[in-house]
Amino acid sequence: MKRLSRDVAVIGIGQTRFGEHWDLSFREIGIQAGIKAIMDAGIDSSRIDALYIGNMSAGLFLDQEHIASIIAEEIGLTDRQIPTTRVEAADASGGLALKQAILSIASGLNDVVVVGGAEKMSDVTSDIAAGFIAAGADQSWEALFGATMPSLYAIMARRHMHEYGTTREQLAHVSVKNHRHGAMNPFAQYQKEIGIETVLKAGPVAEPLGLFDCAPMSDGAAALVVCDMETANEICDEPIRIIGTGQGSDTLSISNRPSLTELRSTKTASRKAYEMAGIGPSDIDVAEVHDSYSIGEILAIEDLGFFEKGDGGPATERGDTTLGGKIPINTSGGLKARGHPLGATGIAQVNEIVLQLRGKCDSRQVKDARIGLAQNVGGTGGTAVVHILEVI
C-alpha cells in the first residue's frame, strides 16, 4: 500500500462566491480567495513555502498564461521569490494542484503551501467559451468533428440509459437535488431551488441533456492552506487531515474506451485514495463529486463505489444522495448550483468538505460528518483526482 512519507492537513480555506463577476478581474478573484484562506489559517505569509494554482485556460479566456506568478504577486508572496506553479488538467486542474501541493509537502520540500484554483470565464461570450471548454476533450478525434463537452456527456448518458435503464427523470433529480443544496450555500452561484419540471422543460443542449443538466459558466476562485501535520498541530486548532489522495487517467477521446458507462480514471483514483486511507466507500460520510453534467454525478457515485453500477439513477431518485440521505452528495450545490469555474472547482469541493468536517455548514451540515471525499474530473475523464479527508 502506497502512503505519504509525511501526513498533510488542511488548515485554511477560502473562496469567492461563484458567479458572473463582471466587475472583478482574474487577479481580484484570485486575491480574494487566497487572502481568505491565509486569514482562515491564521498564519503569517512569511511561513508560506510555495504556491500551486489550478487553472484550465487563462490563455484562451484571458490571453494570459504564466498566471501562478500573477497570483503570487497579487497575494504579496513574491518578496521571497517562493516557487509558484500552475497545474493544468482541464477542469480537474484544481484537484490536481492540491495533489501536487500534498506531494511537495510529503516529500519534505515544503511545509506550508497555498493551493488555489481560479477561472474567469465571463470575459467571453458563451459560444466562444463552449469552444474553449471543448479544448478539454480530444481536439483531433472529437472537437474537430463538432463534438462539444455536453455532447460527449450526452453520449455517455444515452449509453447509461440503454444499458441500465436510467431515466430522463433520474438525471433531472441530480440537478433538482443540487439546486436544493445550493440554496443553502452562500457561496453558490444559484441559491435557488428548482422543480423537476424546470429541468425537464428546459431547452436541449445535447439530448438527453438540457440546460438544467449542465453546470453553468462561472467566475470564481477557491484556495486552501495545506501543511505537514507537525506544523498543523502547532498552529491550528482543527486541522483536517488528508488521509487519501489518488489520481487516475484514461484515453482523452471517449471513442477509445471499452465502456461509456464508467470513468476508469475515477475508479482508479478512488481505489488508490481508499487504499491509502485504509477505508472503503461505506466509510464516507459526505462527498463532493464532479457533476459538470447530471450524468457525471450518476457515473461518479457508481464509480466511487457508493452505489452499484446502474443504481446511480434510482439511488438519486430515492433520495439516497440528498441531505439526510444515505450518503449526501454535493451539499455545496455541486458544479450545477455552486457554479463551475473550471480550475477552481476541485479546490472549492475540498473547501466544502473541510467546512463539513469542521461542522460549519449551518443548514446544510451533514450530522456527525467525520470523513469526506472530493472527486474532480478533467473533461470527460481523461483525468480524475480523488481526495479523502478526515477530522482528527
Nearer to other proteins, 219 or 303 (CB): 219
| Nearest distance from C-beta of residue 6 to other proteins, angstroms | 46
b/e 322-334 (16+ beta carbons within 10 angstroms → b): bbeeebbbbbbbb
d(CA 125, CA 195): 28
By C-alpha distance, which of 320, 302, 300 is closest to 310? 302
| Nearest distance from C-beta of residue 125 to other proteins, angstroms | 6
Nearer to other proteins, 192 or 360 (CB): 192
d(CA 76, CA 46): 10
| Nearest distance from C-beta of residue 145 to other proteins, angstroms | 19
Q: 388: which DSSP letter?
A: E
Residues contributing to the site for other proteins (CB under 8 A)? 20, 22-23, 122, 125-126, 201, 203-204
- Strand partners for 361: none
Which cell numbers hold the place of 85? 506553479
- The DSSP line for 191-246 is -----HHHHHHSPEEETTEEGGGBPPP-BEEEEEEEEEHHHHHHH-SS-EEEEEEE
Nearer to other proteins, 5 or 125 (CB): 125
How many CB atoms are located within 10 Å of the residue 266 CB?
A: 29
Nearer to other proteins, 172 or 225 (CB): 172
Q: Which helix (H) or strand (E) element contains residue 288?
A: strand 286-288
Q: Which helix (H) or strand (E) element contains residue 155?
A: helix 149-164
How many CB atoms are located within 10 Å of the residue 151 CB?
A: 17
Nearer to other proteins, 8 or 217 (CB): 217
Nearer to other proteins, 32 or 189 (CB): 189
For residues 62 and 24, the answer to whether their CB atoms sit within 8 Å is no
Q: Which amino acid is at 139?
A: Q
For residues 294 and 174, the answer to whether their CB atoms sit within 8 Å is yes
- Strand partners for 163: none
Nearer to other proteins, 192 or 201 (CB): 201
d(CA 351, CA 291): 16
| Nearest distance from C-beta of residue 126 to other proteins, angstroms | 6
Nearer to other proteins, 66 or 201 (CB): 201
Nearer to other proteins, 127 or 237 (CB): 127
| Nearest distance from C-beta of residue 144 to other proteins, angstroms | 22
d(CA 91, CA 278): 28
